[in-house]
Amino acid sequence: MQQELDGRADAPVNLENNENATINFLASAQNNTNNVVAEAVGQLAQKARPQTVAEGVAPTTVNLLYSAPDCGEGDECDSDSICDVTGEWDSYRRWVQFTIDECVQKSGVIPIEQFRTVCENPGGALADEIARAARAMKRSMNRIAIESLAASFGDYVNGTNSGTAPAVVPVVTVDQDGLMRPNRIAVAQFNTQYRRKQWRNGFQIIGGDSIAEHNDIAVSMGMTQLPYTYDNRLDDVLQNVFTDTLSNAITIPYGVFNFVEWYDNDLYLSDPRLQTPTRSRTKLVIDGMTYDFDLYMDECANVWKWRLRKNFDFFKIPAAAYCEGADDLILRWNTICGPADCGMLSATVPAPPNGGDNGGNGEG
Protein backbone atom coordinates (compact mmCIF):
# COMPACT_ATOMS: atom_id res chain seq x y z
CA MET A 1 0.00 0.00 0.00
CA GLN A 2 2.80 2.45 0.87
CA GLN A 3 4.48 1.73 -2.45
CA GLU A 4 1.22 2.39 -4.27
CA LEU A 5 0.79 5.71 -2.48
CA ASP A 6 4.39 6.74 -3.11
CA GLY A 7 3.97 5.78 -6.75
CA ARG A 8 1.62 8.73 -7.32
CA ALA A 9 3.30 11.69 -8.98
CA ASP A 10 1.69 14.03 -6.45
CA ALA A 11 2.55 11.93 -3.38
CA PRO A 12 4.53 13.88 -0.73
CA VAL A 13 7.58 11.66 -1.17
CA ASN A 14 7.64 12.64 -4.85
CA LEU A 15 7.22 16.37 -4.37
CA GLU A 16 10.66 17.60 -5.30
CA ASN A 17 12.65 19.34 -2.58
CA ASN A 18 13.19 22.55 -4.46
CA GLU A 19 12.17 26.16 -4.78
CA ASN A 20 8.69 25.20 -6.05
CA ALA A 21 7.65 22.68 -3.39
CA THR A 22 4.81 24.78 -1.95
CA ILE A 23 3.09 25.56 -5.25
CA ASN A 24 3.64 21.96 -6.40
CA PHE A 25 1.66 20.73 -3.41
CA LEU A 26 -1.10 23.33 -3.61
CA ALA A 27 -1.56 22.67 -7.33
CA SER A 28 -1.45 18.88 -6.97
CA ALA A 29 -4.47 16.66 -7.48
CA GLN A 30 -3.78 15.20 -4.04
CA ASN A 31 -4.63 18.55 -2.45
CA ASN A 32 -7.24 20.05 -4.75
CA THR A 33 -9.52 17.07 -5.28
CA ASN A 34 -10.46 16.84 -1.61
CA ASN A 35 -12.97 19.68 -1.49
CA VAL A 36 -12.94 21.82 -4.63
CA VAL A 37 -15.00 20.30 -7.43
CA ALA A 38 -12.51 20.87 -10.20
CA GLU A 39 -14.84 20.38 -13.14
CA ALA A 40 -17.06 23.16 -11.81
CA VAL A 41 -14.37 25.83 -11.58
CA GLY A 42 -15.60 28.75 -13.67
CA GLN A 43 -19.11 27.39 -14.14
CA LEU A 44 -22.15 26.32 -12.17
CA ALA A 45 -25.59 25.01 -13.01
CA GLN A 46 -28.07 27.87 -13.46
CA LYS A 47 -25.24 30.38 -13.22
CA ALA A 48 -23.75 32.16 -16.21
CA ARG A 49 -20.06 31.59 -16.72
CA PRO A 50 -18.36 34.97 -16.15
CA GLN A 51 -15.86 36.22 -18.69
CA THR A 52 -13.20 38.89 -18.49
CA VAL A 53 -14.28 42.31 -19.72
CA ALA A 54 -11.35 42.38 -22.10
CA GLU A 55 -8.26 40.31 -22.68
CA GLY A 56 -5.91 40.41 -19.72
CA VAL A 57 -8.19 42.65 -17.64
CA ALA A 58 -8.22 41.68 -13.96
CA PRO A 59 -10.00 40.85 -11.79
CA THR A 60 -11.63 37.73 -13.21
CA THR A 61 -14.63 36.45 -11.26
CA VAL A 62 -15.47 32.75 -11.36
CA ASN A 63 -18.09 30.61 -9.69
CA LEU A 64 -16.31 28.05 -7.54
CA LEU A 65 -18.04 24.91 -6.31
CA TYR A 66 -16.71 22.98 -3.32
CA SER A 67 -17.85 20.12 -1.15
CA ALA A 68 -18.60 20.94 2.48
CA PRO A 69 -16.67 18.82 5.03
CA ASP A 70 -18.39 15.73 6.38
CA CYS A 71 -19.42 16.54 9.95
CA GLY A 72 -21.12 14.72 12.80
CA GLU A 73 -23.45 11.79 13.20
CA GLY A 74 -27.09 11.68 14.21
CA ASP A 75 -29.39 8.98 15.57
CA GLU A 76 -33.01 9.53 14.65
CA CYS A 77 -35.92 7.15 14.82
CA ASP A 78 -38.93 9.43 15.01
CA SER A 79 -41.01 8.38 12.00
CA ASP A 80 -42.94 5.15 11.53
CA SER A 81 -43.59 5.74 7.85
CA ILE A 82 -41.63 7.12 4.95
CA CYS A 83 -44.53 9.52 4.53
CA ASP A 84 -43.66 11.06 7.91
CA VAL A 85 -40.19 12.17 6.76
CA THR A 86 -39.83 15.95 6.89
CA GLY A 87 -37.17 18.53 6.18
CA GLU A 88 -35.74 20.52 3.32
CA TRP A 89 -33.19 19.78 0.61
CA ASP A 90 -29.74 20.73 1.80
CA SER A 91 -26.91 20.16 -0.66
CA TYR A 92 -23.42 19.54 0.63
CA ARG A 93 -22.09 21.31 -2.43
CA ARG A 94 -21.44 25.00 -1.76
CA TRP A 95 -20.55 27.71 -4.21
CA VAL A 96 -18.86 31.07 -3.94
CA GLN A 97 -18.03 33.82 -6.37
CA PHE A 98 -14.27 33.97 -6.32
CA THR A 99 -12.01 36.67 -7.73
CA ILE A 100 -8.80 35.63 -9.48
CA ASP A 101 -6.43 38.58 -9.40
CA GLU A 102 -2.94 37.05 -9.38
CA CYS A 103 -1.01 36.93 -12.64
CA VAL A 104 2.52 36.14 -13.77
CA GLN A 105 3.84 36.35 -17.29
CA LYS A 106 6.99 36.36 -19.42
CA SER A 107 7.38 37.46 -23.02
CA GLY A 108 9.91 37.79 -25.82
CA VAL A 109 10.41 38.58 -29.50
CA ILE A 110 11.79 36.73 -32.51
CA PRO A 111 12.95 38.61 -35.65
CA ILE A 112 10.82 37.58 -38.62
CA GLU A 113 13.87 36.48 -40.60
CA GLN A 114 14.74 34.01 -37.81
CA PHE A 115 11.22 32.77 -37.21
CA ARG A 116 11.27 30.11 -39.95
CA THR A 117 14.46 28.64 -38.51
CA VAL A 118 12.83 28.53 -35.08
CA CYS A 119 9.74 26.82 -36.45
CA GLU A 120 11.82 24.23 -38.27
CA ASN A 121 13.52 23.36 -34.99
CA PRO A 122 10.69 23.56 -32.40
CA GLY A 123 12.73 21.76 -29.76
CA GLY A 124 15.59 24.25 -29.93
CA ALA A 125 16.22 27.78 -28.76
CA LEU A 126 12.59 28.95 -28.50
CA ALA A 127 11.50 25.88 -26.55
CA ASP A 128 14.41 26.42 -24.16
CA GLU A 129 13.52 30.09 -23.74
CA ILE A 130 9.87 29.31 -23.01
CA ALA A 131 10.85 26.57 -20.54
CA ARG A 132 13.12 29.03 -18.75
CA ALA A 133 10.26 31.53 -18.63
CA ALA A 134 7.95 28.89 -17.15
CA ARG A 135 10.48 28.04 -14.42
CA ALA A 136 10.84 31.72 -13.49
CA MET A 137 7.05 32.15 -13.40
CA LYS A 138 6.67 29.09 -11.22
CA ARG A 139 9.17 30.51 -8.74
CA SER A 140 7.07 33.67 -8.61
CA MET A 141 3.92 31.60 -8.05
CA ASN A 142 5.69 29.71 -5.27
CA ARG A 143 6.54 32.99 -3.50
CA ILE A 144 2.96 34.25 -3.89
CA ALA A 145 1.66 30.92 -2.53
CA ILE A 146 3.79 31.24 0.63
CA GLU A 147 2.71 34.86 1.10
CA SER A 148 -0.94 33.82 0.70
CA LEU A 149 -0.51 31.06 3.27
CA ALA A 150 1.10 33.57 5.66
CA ALA A 151 -2.09 35.64 5.50
CA SER A 152 -4.09 32.55 6.51
CA PHE A 153 -2.11 31.28 9.50
CA GLY A 154 -4.46 30.34 12.33
CA ASP A 155 -4.33 29.84 16.10
CA TYR A 156 -3.10 26.87 18.06
CA VAL A 157 -5.69 25.26 20.32
CA ASN A 158 -4.62 27.52 23.19
CA GLY A 159 -5.52 30.63 21.17
CA THR A 160 -1.95 31.73 20.37
CA ASN A 161 -1.61 32.92 16.80
CA SER A 162 0.84 30.70 14.95
CA GLY A 163 1.79 33.39 12.45
CA THR A 164 2.99 36.00 14.93
CA ALA A 165 4.04 33.69 17.79
CA PRO A 166 5.06 30.35 16.25
CA ALA A 167 5.62 27.46 18.64
CA VAL A 168 9.24 26.32 18.89
CA VAL A 169 9.73 22.65 18.03
CA PRO A 170 13.08 20.86 17.56
CA VAL A 171 13.51 18.80 14.41
CA VAL A 172 17.16 17.95 15.11
CA THR A 173 18.82 17.19 18.47
CA VAL A 174 22.34 16.38 19.63
CA ASP A 175 22.40 13.34 21.92
CA GLN A 176 24.79 12.51 24.76
CA ASP A 177 27.20 10.91 22.29
CA GLY A 178 27.50 14.21 20.46
CA LEU A 179 25.69 12.77 17.44
CA MET A 180 23.00 14.73 15.61
CA ARG A 181 19.71 12.90 15.14
CA PRO A 182 16.37 13.74 13.52
CA ASN A 183 13.76 14.49 16.19
CA ARG A 184 10.16 13.32 15.77
CA ILE A 185 8.66 15.43 18.54
CA ALA A 186 7.67 18.15 16.06
CA VAL A 187 5.50 15.73 14.10
CA ALA A 188 3.96 14.51 17.36
CA GLN A 189 3.16 18.12 18.29
CA PHE A 190 1.63 18.76 14.86
CA ASN A 191 -0.56 15.66 15.15
CA THR A 192 -1.61 16.62 18.67
CA GLN A 193 -2.79 20.03 17.51
CA TYR A 194 -4.88 18.62 14.67
CA ARG A 195 -6.32 15.86 16.83
CA ARG A 196 -7.48 18.50 19.31
CA LYS A 197 -8.93 20.48 16.42
CA GLN A 198 -10.85 17.35 15.37
CA TRP A 199 -9.19 17.33 11.95
CA ARG A 200 -8.79 13.79 10.60
CA ASN A 201 -8.04 14.23 6.91
CA GLY A 202 -4.26 14.59 7.02
CA PHE A 203 -1.87 17.43 6.29
CA GLN A 204 1.32 18.24 4.43
CA ILE A 205 4.44 19.55 6.21
CA ILE A 206 6.62 21.97 4.23
CA GLY A 207 9.68 23.59 5.80
CA GLY A 208 12.83 25.64 5.35
CA ASP A 209 16.48 25.30 6.34
CA SER A 210 15.97 23.33 9.57
CA ILE A 211 13.83 20.86 7.64
CA ALA A 212 16.63 20.47 5.09
CA GLU A 213 19.03 19.68 7.95
CA HIS A 214 16.57 17.14 9.37
CA ASN A 215 16.26 15.47 5.98
CA ASP A 216 20.03 15.45 5.40
CA ILE A 217 20.66 13.74 8.74
CA ALA A 218 17.80 11.27 8.24
CA VAL A 219 19.09 10.28 4.80
CA SER A 220 22.62 9.81 6.19
CA MET A 221 21.11 7.37 8.71
CA GLY A 222 19.35 5.39 6.00
CA MET A 223 15.86 6.78 6.73
CA THR A 224 14.18 7.28 3.36
CA GLN A 225 10.56 7.92 4.40
CA LEU A 226 10.73 11.54 5.53
CA PRO A 227 7.75 13.43 6.97
CA TYR A 228 8.88 16.80 5.60
CA THR A 229 9.01 18.43 2.18
CA TYR A 230 11.75 21.05 1.88
CA ASP A 231 11.13 24.37 0.12
CA ASN A 232 14.34 26.37 -0.07
CA ARG A 233 12.43 29.64 -0.49
CA LEU A 234 10.05 29.26 2.44
CA ASP A 235 12.27 30.80 5.13
CA ASP A 236 13.26 33.83 3.04
CA VAL A 237 9.66 34.63 2.10
CA LEU A 238 8.26 34.23 5.62
CA GLN A 239 11.15 36.14 7.18
CA ASN A 240 10.35 39.01 4.83
CA VAL A 241 6.63 38.86 5.72
CA PHE A 242 7.19 38.69 9.48
CA THR A 243 10.56 40.52 9.63
CA ASP A 244 12.28 37.86 11.74
CA THR A 245 15.12 35.36 11.30
CA LEU A 246 13.29 32.15 12.17
CA SER A 247 13.47 28.87 10.32
CA ASN A 248 9.95 27.67 9.60
CA ALA A 249 7.60 24.84 8.81
CA ILE A 250 4.01 25.13 7.63
CA THR A 251 1.36 22.46 8.20
CA ILE A 252 -1.32 22.59 5.48
CA PRO A 253 -4.34 20.26 5.76
CA TYR A 254 -5.33 18.61 2.51
CA GLY A 255 -8.09 20.45 0.64
CA VAL A 256 -8.30 23.48 2.96
CA PHE A 257 -6.24 25.83 0.81
CA ASN A 258 -6.80 25.42 -2.92
CA PHE A 259 -5.04 26.56 -6.09
CA VAL A 260 -7.51 27.98 -8.65
CA GLU A 261 -6.58 28.61 -12.28
CA TRP A 262 -8.12 30.64 -15.08
CA TYR A 263 -7.28 30.58 -18.79
CA ASP A 264 -8.02 33.55 -21.03
CA ASN A 265 -7.34 31.41 -24.09
CA ASP A 266 -10.12 28.91 -23.37
CA LEU A 267 -12.52 31.28 -25.15
CA TYR A 268 -10.35 31.37 -28.27
CA LEU A 269 -9.71 27.64 -28.28
CA SER A 270 -13.44 26.94 -28.09
CA ASP A 271 -14.09 28.89 -31.30
CA PRO A 272 -11.46 28.57 -34.10
CA ARG A 273 -13.01 31.55 -35.87
CA LEU A 274 -11.44 33.81 -33.25
CA GLN A 275 -7.93 32.81 -34.35
CA THR A 276 -6.24 34.94 -37.04
CA PRO A 277 -3.27 34.37 -39.41
CA THR A 278 -1.14 36.75 -37.34
CA ARG A 279 -2.30 35.74 -33.86
CA SER A 280 -2.29 32.30 -32.28
CA ARG A 281 -3.79 31.71 -28.83
CA THR A 282 -3.32 28.32 -27.22
CA LYS A 283 -2.22 26.62 -23.98
CA LEU A 284 1.04 24.88 -23.10
CA VAL A 285 1.73 22.31 -20.38
CA ILE A 286 5.22 22.78 -18.93
CA ASP A 287 6.51 20.85 -15.92
CA GLY A 288 2.98 19.71 -15.06
CA MET A 289 1.45 23.19 -15.10
CA THR A 290 -0.70 24.73 -17.85
CA TYR A 291 -0.17 28.26 -19.18
CA ASP A 292 -1.82 30.56 -21.73
CA PHE A 293 0.52 30.98 -24.70
CA ASP A 294 0.16 33.72 -27.34
CA LEU A 295 2.11 34.17 -30.56
CA TYR A 296 1.64 37.40 -32.55
CA MET A 297 3.25 38.76 -35.72
CA ASP A 298 3.92 42.49 -35.34
CA GLU A 299 4.46 43.61 -38.94
CA CYS A 300 5.33 47.16 -37.94
CA ALA A 301 8.20 46.01 -35.74
CA ASN A 302 9.10 43.14 -38.11
CA VAL A 303 9.07 40.61 -35.25
CA TRP A 304 7.04 37.75 -33.85
CA LYS A 305 6.09 38.31 -30.21
CA TRP A 306 5.35 35.54 -27.73
CA ARG A 307 3.81 35.63 -24.27
CA LEU A 308 3.49 32.98 -21.57
CA ARG A 309 0.86 33.90 -18.98
CA LYS A 310 -0.80 32.42 -15.89
CA ASN A 311 -3.91 33.73 -14.11
CA PHE A 312 -4.44 32.13 -10.70
CA ASP A 313 -5.26 32.61 -7.05
CA PHE A 314 -5.76 30.68 -3.82
CA PHE A 315 -9.10 29.82 -2.25
CA LYS A 316 -9.43 28.94 1.41
CA ILE A 317 -12.48 26.91 2.46
CA PRO A 318 -14.43 29.18 4.88
CA ALA A 319 -13.87 28.32 8.55
CA ALA A 320 -17.64 28.22 9.10
CA ALA A 321 -17.88 25.23 6.76
CA TYR A 322 -15.90 22.96 9.07
CA CYS A 323 -17.09 20.76 11.89
CA GLU A 324 -17.15 22.07 15.43
CA GLY A 325 -13.61 22.28 16.72
CA ALA A 326 -11.95 22.30 13.30
CA ASP A 327 -10.84 25.85 12.57
CA ASP A 328 -7.61 27.80 12.09
CA LEU A 329 -6.14 24.81 10.31
CA ILE A 330 -3.10 26.34 8.56
CA LEU A 331 -0.32 26.62 11.15
CA ARG A 332 3.20 28.06 11.26
CA TRP A 333 5.98 26.53 13.37
CA ASN A 334 9.50 27.64 14.36
CA THR A 335 11.79 24.65 13.74
CA ILE A 336 15.17 24.42 15.49
CA CYS A 337 18.06 22.19 16.47
CA GLY A 338 17.76 21.72 20.21
CA PRO A 339 16.56 19.61 23.16
CA ALA A 340 13.02 18.39 23.70
CA ASP A 341 10.88 17.32 26.62
CA CYS A 342 7.40 15.97 27.20
CA GLY A 343 5.98 19.43 27.90
CA MET A 344 6.11 20.10 24.17
CA LEU A 345 3.44 17.47 23.56
CA SER A 346 0.77 19.53 25.33
CA ALA A 347 -1.76 20.75 22.80
CA THR A 348 -2.84 23.56 25.09
CA VAL A 349 0.58 25.07 25.78
CA PRO A 350 2.81 25.16 22.69
CA ALA A 351 6.29 26.49 23.35
CA PRO A 352 6.42 30.31 23.23
CA PRO A 353 8.78 32.04 20.76
CA ASN A 354 11.38 32.74 23.46
CA GLY A 355 11.32 29.25 24.94
CA GLY A 356 10.17 28.80 28.50
CA ASP A 357 9.65 26.07 31.06
CA ASN A 358 8.54 23.55 28.44
CA GLY A 359 11.98 23.33 26.88
CA GLY A 360 11.15 25.06 23.64
CA ASN A 361 14.27 27.22 23.36
CA GLY A 362 16.88 24.76 22.26
CA GLU A 363 20.24 25.78 20.93
CA GLY A 364 20.75 25.68 17.18
- Total number of domains in the chain: 1
Domain assignment present for residue 343? The answer is no
Q: What is the pLDDT of residue 348?
A: 63
Dihedral of CA 128/12/190/153: which sign?
positive
Instruction: State the greatest distance between any 2 C-alpha atoms of the chain, in Å, as a whole number.
Output: 83
Helical H segments across 49-157, by residue range? 112-120, 125-150
What digits encode the pLDDT tens for the residues 45-102? 445 555 555 565 656 777 777 887 777 667 777 777 888 888 877 777 777 778 888 9
pTM greater than 0.85: no
Domain assignment present for residue 264? The answer is yes
Domain assignment present for residue 169? The answer is no
What digits encode the pLDDT tens for the residues 300-344? 878 889 999 999 999 998 888 887 777 899 999 999 998 888 877
Residues spanned by the domain of 275 = 34-69+91-151+258-316
Domain assignment present for residue 50? The answer is yes
Query: What angle do the packed helices 234-242 and 125-150 form, to 10 degrees?
Result: 40
Asked if residue 191 has pLDDT above 50, the reply is yes
Q: What is the pLDDT of residue 3?
A: 52
User: Residues 114-140: what's their mean pLDDT?
Assistant: 81
Domain assignment present for residue 161? The answer is no
What is each CA distance from 336 to 109, 246, 249, in whole angstroms? 47, 9, 10
Residue 40 DSSP class:
G
Domain assignment present for residue 322? The answer is no
Domain assignment present for residue 187? The answer is no
Q: What is the pLDDT of residue 27?
A: 92
Domain assignment present for residue 295? The answer is yes
Considering 49-58, 123-132, 242-251, the range whose residues carry the highest mean pLDDT is 242-251
